[in-house]
Amino acid sequence: MMICFPNCKINLGLRIKEKRPDGYHNIETILFPVFLADALEIIVSQDRSPAFSVTGLNIPGDNQQNLCLRACHLMYEKYKIPPVKIHLHKSIPMGSGLGGGSSNAAFTIKLLNDLFGLKLTNEQMRNLASEIGSDCAYFIDNIPLFAYGKGDEFQKVKFSLKNFYIVIVKTQVHIDSATAYANITSSNHKYPVKEIVQLPVQKWKKFMLNDFEEYVFERYPEISDVKRELYKQAAVYVSLSGSGSAVYGIFRTPVNLRELFPDYFTWQGRSIV
């Protein structure tokens, strides 16, 4: 038996460059790990095929299509590993732009690699993860990275938010990524996110933009209200993560979230990266 804790990510800036011939979009963003996490347990099974169960937050749809199982089947096909039982306890909200499902898939690959002593390199695991989803490969290294192309090409980027507090607020809105991408146009910002992230955090407000905010905030004003409220509470920087619907804020000190957002999902923690 092995247990791990797949964490989520936030996007520091998100630029939509252009639509690709394959239907995807080229993007530029900084992916940053945040340690709001699910719990993932895998044990070797005597059954003939992998089994999957889930507790915690409800995951809509068919559990047999869960990305953990897709990752497991991929590993089974390529490496003939024995059947396993997978249990996921879900704490990262779905439809939030936090990459919880992608993280689950990547951590399934990493856990199976450890459990069966496959000795796969990070590059091999990234290649496997990229077969499941564009940002799954990010969670193999799980460090701050500049992401470009479809979001599945990476470069290291050196900066730190250590000792800042990261706050996440998600309204009851669920945003479908495909719909969000269908309603967005390409941007042409002057400063690349790789350069902006090197500025002091207090300067990000002016330059570090997420191109999905215009569409999301117009359609769901309650999400825009969250951003406004976090700035009122002295956040250094606030943004939508991914295509939403979660909004995160970066603070120098903790915030009383239960009083501010009693009806929404909230989380806060000190950054260790």
Active site amino acids: 9, 135
Instruction: Tokens for 61, please give them.
Output: 């749809």
| CA pair distance 28, 253, nearest whole angstrom | 29
DSSP 91: -
CB 86 within 8 A of CB 52: yes
Instruction: Tokens for 228, please give them.
Output: 């406004």
**Which of 253, 94, 228, 102 has its CA nearest to residue 167?**
253
| CA pair distance 81, 113, nearest whole angstrom | 10
**208-220 burial by CB neighbour count: b if 16+ within 10 A, else e?**
bbbbbbebbbeeb
**Which of 88, 98, 103 has its CA nearest to residue 58?**
88
| CA pair distance 214, 255, nearest whole angstrom | 26
Q: How many angstroms from the chain centroid is the CA of residue 229? A: 23
